[in-house]
């Protein structure tokens, strides 16, 4: 219930929510990110099971298969999520350094953590259901929340926050393209 309230606050008023958690310790932010990745992995598991059953391949999932699948998805989601959060934080911090005075890498990590909430929580939509442009929409949501995060945590001007958000989002799109992720989906 609390997580849903946080997600609603992030969507409806990103700058207000980010102001509330600005001085929160980074340890709490990382714990929140881990909880979001666990929730995202659970959603990924259930959506995978549902699509497998709907497609008539439900007999492949016995009790042992389900346990292995749950543990694998949880482990991969949390470990990969933390690794990608670090990589994206480093990339974003490089762009923050271009904008002049910076407030430290910790503020950049906070920015990436909160900008990643929606993409991490809803990653299962483009990967399981292959909905057209859904991955692109998640990257755009990341960019918008990054803009507000840079404004709040680094106290940058709007143009500098937009620079960081656009270039970080562009770099993520390039990484997804090199990773052969179908960003657009089944459109073409």
pLDDT at 61: 63
Q: Is pLDDT above 60 for 110?
A: yes
Q: Total structural domains in the chain?
A: 1
Q: How confident is the model at residue 64 (pLDDT cuts 50, 70, 90)?
A: confident
Q: 10 lies in a domain? A: no
pLDDT at 168: 94
Residue 126 contacts residue 134 (beta carbons within 8 Å): yes
Q: 101 lies in a domain? A: yes
pLDDT at 164: 94
Residue 120 contacts residue 36 (beta carbons within 8 Å): yes
CA 132 to chain centre: 18
Q: 92 lies in a domain? A: yes
pLDDT at 187: 45
Kindly state the average pLDDT of the residues 1-21.
67
Q: 96 lies in a domain? A: yes
Kindly state the average pLDDT of the residues 103-123.
89
Q: 89 lies in a domain? A: yes
Distances from the Cα of 165 to the Cα of 22, 58, 141, angstroms: 18, 42, 11
- Alpha-carbon distance of 145 to 127, in angstroms, equals 22
Q: Between these two residues, 135 and 56, which has the higher pLDDT value?
A: 135
Q: How confident is the model at residue 135 (pLDDT cuts 50, 70, 90)?
A: confident
Here the tokens at position 15 are: 């700058």
Q: 35 lies in a domain? A: yes
Least confident of 13-17, 112-116, 144-148, 173-177: 13-17
Buried b (16+ CB within 10 A) or exposed e, 38-67: bbbbebbbeebbeebeeeeeeeeeeeeeee
- Alpha-carbon distance of 166 to 171, in angstroms, equals 9
Q: 28 lies in a domain? A: yes
Q: 76 lies in a domain? A: yes
Please give the mean pLDDT across all residues of the chain: 83
Q: How confident is the model at residue 57 (pLDDT cuts 50, 70, 90)?
A: low
Q: How confident is the model at residue 188 (pLDDT cuts 50, 70, 90)?
A: very low
Most confident of 66-75, 77-86, 123-132, 161-170: 161-170
Residue numbers of the domain that contains 31:
24-178
């Amino acid at each position: 219930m609390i997580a849903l309230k946080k997600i609603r606050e992030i969507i409806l008023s990103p700058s207000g929510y980010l102001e509330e958690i600005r001085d929160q310790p980074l340890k709490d932010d990382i714990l929140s990110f881990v909880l979001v990745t666990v929730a995202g992995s659970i959603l990924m598991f259930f959506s995978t099971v549902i699509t497998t059953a709907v497609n008539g391949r439900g007999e492949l999932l016995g009790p042992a298969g389900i346990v292995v699948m749950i543990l694998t998805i949880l482990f991969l989601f949390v470990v990969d999520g933390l690794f990608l959060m670090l990589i994206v934080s480093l990339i974003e911090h490089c762009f923050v350094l271009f904008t002049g005075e910076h407030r430290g890498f910790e503020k950049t990590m906070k920015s990436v953590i909160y900008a990643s909430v929606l993409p991490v929580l809803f990653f299962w939509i483009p990967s399981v259901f292959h909905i057209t442009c859904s991955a692109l929409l998640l990257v755009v949501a990341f960019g918008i929340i990054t803009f507000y995060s840079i404004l709040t945590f680094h106290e940058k001007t709007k143009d500098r926050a937009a620079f960081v958000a656009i270039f970080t989002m562009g770099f993520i799109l390039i990484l997804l393209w090199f990773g052969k992720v179908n960003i657009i989906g089944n459109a073409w």
